[in-house]
């Protein structure tokens, strides 16, 4: 496996082997560990075990995150900030190179308020930037995520920050006849 970044912990080589236990037979349920699409990026939670790197989970894939925002080869996490800031950066900042717009838009929307507990203000700033600099599906997803912050959280300052971000990014959201929200 090729390593693009190390977000926390000691440096590791650019190419590594990762070990994990998976199911030997058939399975029914969520995606098993290791069923990743070749060529796509993932954040892996690893630990050292008997001299090798192992995933923090076995069986079901609960210890990796897909990253659809592109390459972030020059990214260096701030060691003074919690790891969550780096996760917000990876999921809500366009990287270098080609990016699948639909996959990135899905990732942006999938990181709605529950995705970053305690980092809502930081995530709102990233979403505002995406809503200002992107177009089509990605802008729409950023605006819809901001809208969710305005209606789902109980903290008044978060709702207010999200509403201001929507105004600054010219987000226009409206309820459709089926009750869903559509943002532009």
Q: Select from 15, 41, 67 the last residue of a domain.
A: 67
Q: Are residues 2 and 54 in the same domain?
A: yes
Domain-embedded: residue 130: yes
Q: Bridge partners of 41?
A: 67
Q: Are residues 89 and 63 in the same domain?
A: no
Total domain count for the chain?
A: 2
Q: Are residues 146 and 93 in the same domain?
A: yes
Q: Are residues 87 and 37 in the same domain?
A: no
Q: Select from 19, 36, 67 the last residue of a domain.
A: 67
Domain-embedded: residue 9: yes
Question: For residue 19, what are the domain limits?
Answer: 1-67
Which pTM was predicted? Answer: 0.89
Q: Are residues 95 and 55 in the same domain?
A: no
pLDDT of res. 112: 61
pLDDT of res. 113: 57
Q: Are residues 62 and 36 in the same domain?
A: yes
Contact 166, 176 (CB under 8 A): no
Q: Residues 6 or more apart from 144 whose CB is under 8 A from it?
A: 109, 173, 181, 182, 183
Longest alpha-carbon distance in the chain: 58
Does residue 170 come out as left (phi exceeding 0), alpha (psi in the -120 to 50 range) or beta? left
Q: How far apart are CA 11 and CA 2, in angstroms?
A: 13
160 CB-side CA count, 13 A: 3
Mean pLDDT by 10 residues, the chain (184 residues): 92 93 82 83 93 93 91 93 94 94 92 75 96 96 94 84 96 91 90
Domain-embedded: residue 127: yes
Nearest to 107 by CA among 144, 61, 73: 144
Contact 119, 107 (CB under 8 A): no
Q: Bridge partners of 46?
A: 55
What stretch of H or E contains 65?
Answer: strand 64-67
Q: Are residues 59 and 88 in the same domain?
A: no
């Amino acid at each position: 496996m090729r390593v693009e970044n190390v977000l926390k912990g000691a440096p590791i080589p650019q190419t590594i082997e990762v070990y994990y236990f998976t199911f030997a037979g058939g399975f029914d349920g969520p995606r098993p560990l290791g069923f990743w699409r070749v060529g796509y990026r993932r954040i892996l939670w690893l630990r050292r075990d008997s001299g090798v790197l192992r995933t923090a989970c076995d069986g079901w894939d609960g210890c990796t995150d897909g990253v659809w925002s592109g390459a972030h080869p020059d990214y260096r996490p701030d060691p003074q900030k919690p790891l969550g800031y780096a996760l917000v950066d990876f999921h809500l900042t366009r990287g270098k190179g080609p990016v699948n717009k639909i996959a990135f838009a899905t990732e942006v929307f999938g990181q709605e308020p529950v995705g970053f507990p305690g980092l809502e203000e930081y995530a709102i700033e990233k979403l505002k930037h995406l809503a200002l600099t992107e177009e089509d599906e990605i802008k729409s997803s950023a605006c819809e995520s901001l809208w969710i912050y305005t209606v789902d959280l109980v903290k008044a300052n978060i709702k207010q920050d999200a509403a201001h971000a929507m105004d600054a990014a010219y987000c226009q959201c409206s309820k459709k006849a089926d009750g869903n929200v559509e943002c532009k």
